[in-house]
Amino acid sequence: MKFKPLEILTHIILILGVLLMVLPIWFSFATSTHDNVSIMTEGMKFFLGESFSQNYNEVLNEKGGWSEEVTAARMFVNSFIMALGIATLKVVISAMSAYALVYFRFKLAVPIFWLIFITLLVPLEVRIFPSYKIVSDLGLTNTYTGLILPLVASATATFFFRQFYKTIPDELLESAKLDGANSWRFFIDFLLPLSKTMLAAMFIFMFVYGYSQYLWPLIMTTDEKYWTVVMGMKIIFTENYEGVALPRTGERFAYIILSMLPPVLVVVILQRWFIKGLIQTEK
């Protein structure tokens, strides 16, 4: 095979990019398989060590926190529930609200759309105290509902779904009407399957968004049973940091590697849909 100079150059750039992304992860993974003494004395590792099972076992099963009750496994479950709830509800709610905005010609559709749109200007961090007040008045602190509910509305997703629905030709709706589809059927039988790619993409983004929430769960939860992974990263395995014991760097790296898995899994599972939708333009 012959390569043109430009091809070689682009490949070098691509390979450099891949290395730039993958190397830190590889370093973290390699380091997470060493014992704390060697990490302390020799720094970050490039090659695999022998403490893989010991470190990962400790991470998943050791009870930590102030109450010595919460395990990392528990936090993974919590984060997963939270991210799943947020992503699912965000996608469902925005798809439906965009449907209402595009297909139901009520008078205030446009102002309402802009009202939804400007909520982008007030992210959760800005309205964190009022949101906390409402949730706590409703008695939802330390519940999954409290973790999920304030985050389920999404102006971004509503906007994207709206733009997508607008590209669907009117004849499709008219033809469906004549075929006896009511508004509910049109949504289920047409809009959802046609926006499959969009749904998958939005779900991925929103899952990662929910998974990486830090401030909200930190404020919301006083009960360690509801701690999430990202909160745990700050808290767990740090208790002896200032004592005589060695910092538990190996376990912490193992924790980081594990915390990356759920979003990676979601991307891997949904990417088939995602890519398929990108290649086949069904119009």
Partner 1 sequence: MVYQRINSNRKIKMSFLELQNITKIYPNGTKAVNETSLNIDNGEFVVFVGPSGCGKSTLLRMIAGLEDITNGEISLDGNVINNIDPSERDVAMVFQNYALYPHMSVFNNMAYGLKNRGISKEEINNKVNDVAKLLEIDQLLTRKPSMLSGGQRQRVAMGRAIVRNPKIFLFDEPLSNLDAKLRNQMRLEIKRLQRQMGVTSIFVTHDQTEAMTLGDRIVVINNGVVEQVGTPKEIYSKPNTKFVAEFIGSPQMNLFNCKIENGIAHIADMRINLNNSANIDDASLGIRPDDILISDNGQHTCVANLVEYLGSDMIIYSKIGDQEFSCKLSSKINLNAGDTFKFDISNTLVHLFDNTNGSRV
Query: Where on the chain is the footprint of partner 1 (CB under 8 A)?
Result: 169, 171-172, 174-182, 185, 189-190, 193-194, 196, 280, 282-283
Q: Which is nearer to partner 1, 242 or 282 (CB)?
A: 282
Q: Least distance from C-beta 92 to partner 1, angstroms? A: 19
Q: Which tokens is 154 given?
A: 């999404």
Q: Which is nearer to partner 1, 180 or 243 (CB)?
A: 180
8 Cβ contact list (under 8 Å, min separation 6)? none
What does the alpha-carbon distance between residue 101 and residue 49 come to, in Å, rounded to a whole number? 56
Q: Least distance from C-beta 190 to partner 1, angstroms? A: 7
Q: Which is nearer to partner 1, 24 or 193 (CB)?
A: 193
User: CA torsion sign, 269 to 275 to 280 to 283?
Assistant: positive
Q: Least distance from C-beta 269 to partner 1, angstroms? A: 21
Q: Least distance from C-beta 100 to partner 1, angstroms? A: 19
Q: Least distance from C-beta 279 to partner 1, angstroms? A: 12
Q: Which is nearer to partner 1, 54 or 183 (CB)?
A: 183
Q: Which is nearer to partner 1, 183 or 212 (CB)?
A: 183
Q: Least distance from C-beta 280 to partner 1, angstroms? A: 8
What does the alpha-carbon distance between residue 146 and residue 203 come to, in Å, rounded to a whole number? 20
Specify burial of residue 279 (Cβ count, 10 A radius: 0-12, 13-18, 19+).
exposed
Residue recorded with tokens 């971004």: 156
Residue recorded with tokens 């995602």: 274
Residue recorded with tokens 């395990």: 71
Q: Which is nearer to partner 1, 26 or 273 (CB)?
A: 273
DSSP string, 37-104: HHHHHH-S-SS--S-HHHHHHHHHH--BTTTT-B-HHHHHHHHHHHHHHHHHHHHHHHHHHHHHHHHS
